Amino acid sequence: MKYEPEASWGANAGLAAARFEMEKIAAESELSRADAYTLSGVVAIEEMGGPVVPWRSGRSDAPDGSTSPPDGRLPNADMGTPKNTVQHLRDIFHRMGFTDREIVALSGAHALGRCHEDASGYWGPWTYAETTFSNEYFRLLLEEAWTLKTTHQGKPWTGPDQFETPDGALMMLPSDMALLWDKKFRDVVVEYAKDEDLFFKEFSTAFAKLLELGCTFKTPKTGIFGLGFFGL
């Protein structure tokens, strides 16, 4: 993600500031960038109340962008129709070896953060506590009356299709709504909404799998990591 063309992919829009901070962490710790990025992610999840995610070091970095994979392999937020969006999620994640349960578990990371119009074209947070990792995302999916967004701050909404709560405070992408449109996905949403411990357990396993996808590990460094390493 540091080098072009990957740095300019739409899926990575808005991440320049984060990359700048990761460069400092990698330099100070002698970690590879790939290790710095992934370790920072698991530390952030734990610090925001989420589960401990298994992590090991030993990832290597590409020297430049010449071996970048083609753009378009990451999931899109909308494929035009509910059926196409559901199938797209399965196509993308099944190709990477993830199950339907793991697709839903990983989607639960939308408990964190928000969308920014200047990055993705979408607007708003998924939950009321966007810096807390919890199962609120799943509870809100089931409890709120989601409708297509038509206005924004008193004016017609001209951005891409997204869904909102009756008061417009929260949003869901079509790919989030796909977890309700498909029965197999929805059944897992119901499970996670009822049982946060189950969600944490299965998210931790799925996210650790994602962080090691396609990696060939060198001999890992040990004894220097943990929350204290980041001054937390």
Is residue 141 located within the same domain as residue 39? Answer: no
Domain-embedded: residue 1: no
Q: Is 62 among the domain residues?
A: yes
pLDDT for the residue 220? 57
Question: How many whole angstroms separate alpha carbon 143 and alpha carbon 58?
Answer: 42
Q: 70: Cβ–Cβ under 8 A, 6 or more apart, which residues?
A: none
Asked whether residue 121 falls in the same domain as residue 198, the answer is: yes
Do 121 and 104 fall into the same domain?
yes
Q: Is 136 helix (H, G, I), strand (E, B) or coil?
A: helix
Based on its alpha-carbon atoms, the radius of gyration of the chain, rounded to whole angstroms, reads: 18
Please give the C-alpha separations between residue 171 and each of 59, 99, 134, 140, in angstroms, as whole numbers.
Answer: 35, 25, 17, 10
Residues 189 and 97 in one domain: yes
Mean pLDDT of the 133-139 span: 99
The enclosing domain of 221 has a CATH number of 1.10.520.10
Instruction: Compute the average pLDDT of residues 114-132.
Output: 97
Phi, psi dihedrals of residue 125, rounded to the nearest 5° = -90, 160
3-class DSSP assignment, residue 163: strand
What is residue 231's predicted lDDT score, i.e. its pLDDT?
A: 39
Alpha carbon distances (Å) from 177 to 22, 63, 129, 131, 161:
32, 39, 19, 21, 11
**Whether 134 and 147 share a structural domain:** yes
Q: What is the mean pLDDT of the chain?
A: 91
**146 occurs within a structural domain:** yes
Asked if 114 and 137 touch (Cβ cutoff 8 Å), the reply is no
Identify the pLDDT of residue 226: 46
- Reported residue count of the chain is 232
Range of the domain at 31: 6-71+210-230
Asked if residue 96 is part of any domain, the answer here is yes
Q: Say which residue, 11 or 119, is predicted with more confidence.
A: 119
Distance, CA of 182 to chain centre? 20
pTM, whole model, 2 decimals? 0.90
Looking at the fold, whether 155 and 88 belong to one and the same domain comes out as yes
179 shares a domain with 109: yes
Q: Give the pLDDT band (50/70/90) at residue 219.
A: low
CA distance linking residue 71 with residue 69, whole number of Å:
7
Residue 213 is predicted with a pLDDT of 94
Contact residues for 35 (Cβ-Cβ < 8 A; gap 6+): 26, 57, 58, 59
Phi-psi region of 55 (alpha: psi -120 to 50; beta: other; left: phi over 0): beta
91 with 188, same domain: the answer is yes
Residue 232's pLDDT band (cuts 50, 70, 90)? very low
Q: What is the DSSP string of 99-165?
A: -HHHHHHHHGGGGS-EE-TTTTS--EESSS-TTS-SSHHHHHHHHS--EE--EETTEE--SS--EE-
Residue 217 pLDDT grade (very low, low, confident, very high; cuts 50, 70, 90): confident
Q: How many domains does the chain have?
A: 2
Q: Do 95 and 202 have their domain in common?
A: yes
Residue 159 lies in a domain: yes
What does the pLDDT read at residue 116?
95
Residue 76 belongs to a domain: no
Q: How do residues 2-33 score in pLDDT, each as one tens digit?
A: 788 888 887 788 888 888 888 888 888 888 99
Q: Is residue 176 part of a domain?
A: yes
Hunting for tokens 């753009």 — which residue is that?
71
Quick check: is 77 in a domain?
Answer: no
Q: Comparing C-alpha atoms, which of 114, 115, 120, 180 is closest to residue 147? A: 180
Answer yes or no: do 88 and 192 share one domain. Answer: yes
Q: Are residues 111 and 130 in the same domain?
A: yes
Distance CA 221, CA 125 (A): 37
Residue 185, domain CATH: 1.10.420.10
Shared-domain flag, residues 91 and 199 = yes
Q: What is the pLDDT of residues 36-88, one digit of tens each?
A: 999 999 999 999 999 999 999 999 988 888 888 888 788 999 999 999 999 99
